[in-house]
Structure formats: C-alpha cells, structure tokens
C-alpha cells in the first residue's frame, strides 16, 4: 500500500503520526466530525437569530478595543445590514488583512441585540473565487494541527490510497444497497458531501456511504478474528484428559454442595477442550456469585490429574487471596500443594514459593501479576486461568502464557469475567474465543432489594445500618475517593469513616482503601470476614472477590459517579447468605449539578434489574464496548464506524462472509485486513 515518503518529519507530520495518520489509507479513513456549509451566502436581511450562516460583506471598520477585555472588532456590511465580528484571540496578520475595504466571507452563529448582528470568533477568509460545491469537512485534530493543513493531507492521502474493491467478491456479497457505492466513491462523498444531502443521515451514519464503510470495517474485524482463531488451532498444547477416579472425581465428591446444571455444562465444555492437543482459548462468563471459582478448580484438577501445573492469576491481592483460601480449602485435604505468589511477600516466603513452583511440587499456583516476573519458573505449566481478564493488558496475558517450559507447546487458557458479555460484543471483539456461560445462580442466593436514596436522607440510611447491626449483620459503605478534591464535591472514605464512627458508638467501623499497606488491608479484611467488624468503609478495592455471607447491606455513596458494571459488581458483595439483603444507591442533589442522562440511565437500570446479562446489554447501550473490553484492545482501536447497538445485521453478515472470503480469496482477505488494521492485531494473540 502506497505511503507518502517522509524522510524528515516536521511538527505537523509528527502531530498527524500521533493521531495514527501515517499511511495513505489512514488519511482516507480519517472522516469528518461534522460539516460546514460554505456553498451558499445568506443575506443579513434574511438571517435569523441563532442561525449558523455564511455572509459575504465589505469591512467598514476594524479596531482593537481595550474595554473590559482586549478584543478585535471588525464591522462588515453586506449591503442589506451590518454585523460585528468579535475576536478575543487573533493574530496581527488577521488584523492587517481585515482592514476597511477588504471583501470577506465570514461563517458563524448570528446573534442579534441592541447593537445589531454579532458573530463571535467566526471563520473568516477573503471573498475570492467561486463558492465551493460541497460541504466543508471539519476533522478530528489536535492542538497545533490546523484544519486547512489536515484537509489538504487527507485529500492527498485519499487520492493516493489503494482502494480497489474487496468486499464485493464471489460469494462474499451482502444483500445490501450500500454496495452500490464503490469504496472510493463512498469515501469521496463522505469527505465532501453535496449540500443537498440530509445532514441527519451523515450524523447518524445511516447514509449508504457510511453503511459501505461499516461493512468493510466489520468484515476486516471478523477476518482478523478468524485468522487468530485458526492460527491458534494450528498450535500444539498438552492434552489434559485427567484420569478415572483421579483428583477431578475426588474433588467432585468432596465438595460440600451440588453443582448447578450450568456449572456442570460449562465444566464439560472446558474438560472437552482440555482433552484436545490444541490450546484451549475459552472465556468463562457468569454473573456475580454464579460459582466460577469452583469451575476453575475442577479445570485445575484435570490439569493436575495429568501431571501438570496450573496457574491462576487475579488482578488484586484481595481477589487472589479469596481464590487462594477457597482453593486450598478444597484441594489441600486431597493432598495438593498450592503456592501463593504476590508482590508484597517477604523475601524468605517468596524464595520458598519460587522453589515449590520450579520443582513442580506446587501443582497449583495462585497470585497476582507477580507470577509473570522473570524469576518465576514453572516446571510443567499447562493451564493458565486469568480472573477478571479485562483488567490485564495484552503483554501481561502473553507473559503468563510464555511461562510454558516445553518448546513448541502452548498452555491452555481459561479467562473468567463476572461482567457478562452481550451477544453482539461476543460476536465481534470476542469472536476469536469460545465462550462458556454460567446462566444460573446457586440455590440459596437471596434477591437483593435496590433502592435509590437522595443523599439528603443520609441519616435514615445510618438508622437502617443500626437495624442491620442489631440483627448481627454486617454492612459495606463504599466511597469513590480517598482524598478531598476541588474538582469533585465528593465525600471521601476517611471522612465517612470518621462520621460513621461517631454515629455508631460501640461498633467496630473499619477503613479500607488502595493506598493502605498490604498488611493493613489484610488485617482489616480478616476482621470483617471473621465478623469482628460491623461496618467496612471502603473504596472500590472490594469490587470483586470479597465473599462475606453475613454482610446484608451495601451502601454506595455518590452512586452516580460509578459505571454500571462496577455498581453491579459492588451490589454482588451482599446477598451471599440466607438473610434478606439490600443495596442503597446514594446520589447527590441540592447544590450539586443535576444528574446527567447517562447517570440516570445507569441508576435506573440498577433499580429495575439484577440480571447481569441485562445489565451488560444496557451498559453496552449507554457506554459502548470499551468498559467490557478493558485492555484486550491494547494496541488496536475500537470499531470507529460500526455501532454494535445499531449494526447487528451488518455484523451478522460479516461473520458469515469472513470465512468465505478467507477460504476462497486468501490474498484479498489479507489485503483487506491490512487496509483497516495494519499491524494492530497483536491483541488477538492474548
């Protein structure tokens, strides 16, 4: 693909490179944010208040006014009325060019008033030459990169870019009107649309030219995902079939509860994958409290049964320790040695754990990202389990996978998430994975009543806490910040802790936040888990992994500041025992700004449903795919043009067309992926 030669980069070229504008196709696909209509002139006599318009007029006066604030005032007359162009920021060259007698075109918002028409900081240039015949594009840019320079660069890249057709080939032709638009014609149109086009169809991306780009983009994504899946299937991994009457069977018999039908189903899916000599690459999704950890333990048992090691990595020490305690409780009585590895360990303990891992004596290793450090050497790692996978970057996941000792073999990979993945997201960004879903909760989980409460009723919430404590229950109170902030008027964890201590004399009120030393965090959590502490004031470090069945009330302060999946995760910390549980969402009003529509939608969803899959669907609608993907997309942009909420039909077509194009026209398919993503597909390997 042709790339304009750049022997030395000037600051403008560096700015464009920073935006990802390097190849000709990058410029061609850099589409406008909006458009300005410079194709017609509006007479001032015909103008309306608040109208965005272009006028052509003669400068009658130009002066710098020092009243109140230094500003340049340019008065123009178009023969039907006058207008003042007001600039608080300007260059001397502009002041010199806009002298009386100069003929100019000015475009901006017209404001009326006692002194007549005014435009604030309009776009102004000399009235020379004919009017343009197309709308003027306004591109996304960065400081120091003028629109005029960027427009010229985009036009050059578009002219040079290789844009031969790739979609409309053989059987890979979607039954869609958008394909009546050749790709180059669609791009030319979107960069310079005719003035008669409906701006609505451009802004909502429903115009056939936009649809053509979405088709191309989704097809490129699906092909790249399919290539990653096929490349992985060509790799070798140790088969882990377990053995009859082995650890897997003994663990099943020893569990103090029965697996749900969903747990049994996904366990069988994972076991089938592990028995194959190709690496498993599976995502295990399940709502908060659905029992993913025991499924991971059973997978580990199959691995250990086959004489291999298993590693489980979690994003925080609290979550890693929660897993560690559960796993040793299940596996240690069965004779399995489990190693514990985190960044806060003392040197002597760490050396002992490293020796257990290197010798193979530790069949299971649980820890944080500390286990991917160079000094950690596994004896015969064959299965890696990554919990809350969206919290890890691509490099971290690849580093754990690379701990496999044998050349030519890959470990099996099981990723877990408590944020269910909506179907359209699974079909697009997770298309390279097999997905297992635990879609039912274990028996005995009590429904959680969720209430929205104005922060002005804080005293009533404290009274409710007293009621829970009198019944022997425990309470979480979650705050979004640790320190005071001038930008955000939020109560911090420390202040809330002190206030609750004063309001609840005789009650042990703990404080937990991310800046505390690890030993202090562990001590606080141990007190709360053991029931010695009635109330735990915390930041979101308790979002995942904390399991205290006696906790029956969750209070989330400034709930409007949290993301929807985060609120759902926090709510899932209660309702884990037999007692009726509740979640109180405190939201700020009064002197604070009114709740935005996005915050309202999040809080409404929390009150209306406890279904994690419905929560995930709504979150995708509200916030887009970024929150679900986390660092999975490191090094690769999200979909720029297609919208998973509105383009499900195009996605379904691309999913079917990708294998056809890849099988029948592999060179064409590869060129198509290179056009859209370049080399940014490394993330698929993780």
Residue-wise pLDDT for 577-622, tens only, equals: 778 899 999 987 654 446 777 888 889 989 998 888 788 778 777 7
**Could you report the per-residue pLDDT of 305-330, keeping only the tens digit for each?**
999 999 998 887 877 887 888 888 89
pLDDT digits (tens, 9 = 90+) for 461-481: 999 999 999 999 999 999 886
Paired with 35 in beta bridges are 137
| DSSP β-bridge partners for residue 119 | 85, 110
Predicted confidence band of residue 167 (pLDDT cuts 50, 70, 90):
low
Look at residue 418 and tell me whether its pLDDT is greater than 70: yes
pLDDT of residue 491: 53
DSSP 473-524: -EEEEE-SBSS--SSS---BHHHHHHHHHHHSTTS-EEEE-TTS-HHHHHHH
Mean pLDDT of 515-537: 87
Q: Which of 116-120, 175-179, 260-264, 571-575 has the lowest mean pLDDT?
A: 175-179
C-alpha dist (Å) from residue 145 to 19, 138, 272: 11, 12, 55
pLDDT reported for residue 280: 92
Tokens of 354: 């490293």
pLDDT score of 686: 46
Angle between helices 183-191 and 147-160 (to 10 degrees): 170
How many CA atoms are closer than 13 Å to the CA of 135, on its beta-carbon side? 22
Question: What CA–CA distance (Å, rounded) separates 120 from 98?
Answer: 15
Give me 71's structure tokens.
């500003």
- Where along the chain do its domains lie? 11-35+136-204, 52-126, 247-438, 448-609
pLDDT band of 290, cuts 50, 70, 90: confident
Phi first, then psi, for residue 78 (nearest 5°) are -100, 10
Instruction: Give per-residue pLDDT as tens, 545-580.
Output: 567 889 999 999 988 888 887 888 888 888 877 788
Closest CA to 94 of 118, 62, 116, 70: 62
* Superfamily of segment(s) 247-438: P-loop containing nucleotide triphosphate hydrolases (3.40.50.300)
Mean pLDDT of the chain, nearest integer: 84
Per DSSP, the three-state class of 239 is coil
Query: Residue 676 and residue 537: Cα distance in Å, rounded?
Result: 48
Token representation of residue 358:
């290197």
Torsional class of 144: left (φ above 0), alpha (ψ -120 to 50), beta (otherwise)? left
Q: Does domain 448-609 fall into CATH 2.60.120.10?
A: no
* Architecture category of domain 52-126 in CATH: Beta Barrel (2.40)
Check for a shared fold between 52-126 and 247-438. Answer: no
Hey, what are 567's tokens? 């609120």
pLDDT score, position 633:
41
> Does residue 440 surpass a pLDDT of 80?
yes
Burial of residue 645 (CB within 10 Å: 0-12, 13-18, 19+) is middle
The sign of the CA dihedral 599, 602, 603, 605 is: positive
Higher per-residue confidence, 259 vs 174: 259
DSSP-derived secondary structure for 391-447: GS-HHHHHHHHTT--STTB--EEEEEESSPPPHHHHHHTTTTSEEEEE-SPPTTPPP
Strand-by-strand arrangement of the 381-387 sheet: 338-341, 364-367, 309-313, 381-387, 412-417, 281-286, 434-438
- 539 to 347, 483, 562: CA distances (angstroms): 29, 11, 11
- pLDDT, tens digit, for every residue of 352-392? 999 999 999 999 999 888 888 888 899 999 999 988 765 55
Contacts of 125 (CB under 8 A, 6+ apart): 104, 105
Instruction: Give the helix/strand (H/E) hosting 600.
Output: helix 597-608
Q: How far is CA 398 from CA 2, 236, 248, 384, 402, in A?
A: 32, 16, 28, 11, 6
DSSP code, position 634: T
Write the Ramachandran bin of 590: left for phi over 0, alpha for psi from -120 to 50, otherwise beta. Answer: left
Phi, psi of 584 (to 5 degrees): -105, 120
| CA angle (78 as vertex; 120, 93 as ends), nearest 5 | 50
Question: Are residues 90 and 75 in contact, defined by beta-carbon separation less than 8 angstroms?
Answer: no
């Amino acid at each position: 693909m042709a790339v304009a030669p750049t022997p030395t980069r000037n600051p403008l070229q560096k700015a464009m490179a920073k935006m990802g504008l390097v190849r000709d196709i990058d410029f061609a696909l850099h589409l406008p944010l909006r458009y300005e209509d410079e194709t017609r002139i509006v007479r001032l006599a015909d103008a309306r208040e608040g109208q965005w318009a272009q006028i052509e007029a003669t400068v009658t006066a130009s002066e710098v006014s020092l009243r109140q604030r230094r500003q340049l005032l340019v008065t123009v007359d178009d023969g039907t009325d006058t207008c003042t162009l007001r600039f608080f920021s300007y260059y001397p060259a502009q002041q010199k060019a806009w002298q009386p007698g100069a003929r100019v075109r000015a475009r901006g918002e017209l404001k009326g008033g006692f002194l007549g028409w005014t435009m604030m900081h309009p776009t102004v240039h000399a009235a020379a030459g004919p009017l343009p015949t197309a709308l003027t594009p306004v591109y996304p840019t960065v400081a120091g990169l003028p629109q005029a320079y960027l427009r010229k660069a985009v036009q050059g890249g578009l002219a040079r870019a290789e844009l031969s057709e790739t979609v409309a080939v053989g059987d890979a032709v979607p039954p869609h009107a958008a394909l009546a638009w050749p790709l180059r014609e669609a791009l030319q149109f979107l960069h310079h649309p005719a003035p008669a086009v409906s701006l609505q169809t451009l802004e909502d991306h429903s115009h056939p030219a936009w649809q053509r780009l979405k088709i191309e983009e989704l097809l490129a994504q699906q092909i790249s995902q399919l290539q990653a899946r096929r490349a992985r299937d060509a790799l070798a991994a140790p088969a882990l079939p377990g053995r009859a009457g082995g650890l897997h069977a003994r663990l099943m018999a020893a569990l103090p509860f029965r697996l749900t039908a969903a747990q049994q189903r996904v366990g069988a899916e994972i076991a089938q994958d592990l028995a194959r000599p190709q690496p498993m690459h599976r995502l295990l999704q399940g709502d908060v409290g659905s029992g993913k950890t025991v499924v991971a333990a059973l997978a580990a048992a199959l691995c250990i049964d086959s004489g291999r090691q298993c590693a489980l990595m979690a994003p925080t020490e609290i979550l890693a320790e929660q897993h560690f305690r559960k796993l040793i409780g299940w596996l240690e009585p069965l004779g399995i040695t489990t190693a514990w590895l985190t960044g806060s360990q003392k040197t002597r303990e760490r050396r002992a754990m490293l020796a257990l891992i290197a010798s193979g004596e530790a069949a299971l290793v649980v820890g944080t990202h500390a286990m991917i450090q160079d000094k950690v050497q596994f004896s015969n790692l064959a299965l890696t389990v990554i919990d809350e996978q969206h919290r890890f970057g691509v490099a971290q996941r690849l580093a754990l996978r690379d701990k496999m000792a044998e050349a030519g073999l890959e470990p099996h990979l099981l990723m877990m998430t408590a944020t269910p993945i909506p179907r359209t997201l699974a079909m697009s960004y997770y298309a390279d994975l097999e997905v297992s879903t635990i879609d039912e909760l274990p028996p005995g989980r009590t429904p959680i009543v969720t209430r929205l409460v104005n922060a002005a009723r804080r005293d009533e919430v404290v009274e409710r806490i007293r009621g829970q404590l009198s019944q022997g229950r425990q309470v979480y109170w979650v705050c979004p910040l640790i320190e005071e902030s001038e930008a955000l008027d939020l109560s911090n964890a420390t202040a809330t802790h002190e206030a609750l201590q004063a309001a609840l004399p005789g009650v042990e009120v703990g404080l937990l936040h991310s800046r505390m030393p690890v030993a202090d965090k562990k001590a606080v959590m141990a007190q709360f888990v053991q029931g010695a502490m009635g109330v735990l004031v915390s930041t979101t470090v308790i979002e995942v992994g904390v399991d205290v069945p006696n906790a029956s009330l969750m209070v989330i302060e400034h709930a409007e500041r949290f993301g929807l999946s985060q609120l759902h995760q926090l709510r899932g910390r209660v309702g884990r025992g037999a007692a009726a549980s509740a979640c109180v969402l405190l939201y700020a009003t009064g002197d604070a700004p009114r709740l935005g529509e996005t915050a309202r939608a999040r809080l409404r969803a929390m009150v209306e449903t406890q279904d994690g899959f419905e929560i995930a669907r709504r979150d995708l609608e509200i916030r887009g795919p970024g929150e679900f993907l986390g660092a999975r997309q490191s090094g690769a942009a999200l979909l720029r043009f297609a919208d998973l909420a509105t383009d499900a039909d195009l996605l379904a077509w691309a999913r079917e067309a990708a294998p056809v194009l890849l099988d029948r026209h592999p060179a064409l398919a590869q060129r198509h992926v290179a056009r859209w993503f370049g080399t940014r597909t490394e993330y698929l390997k993780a």
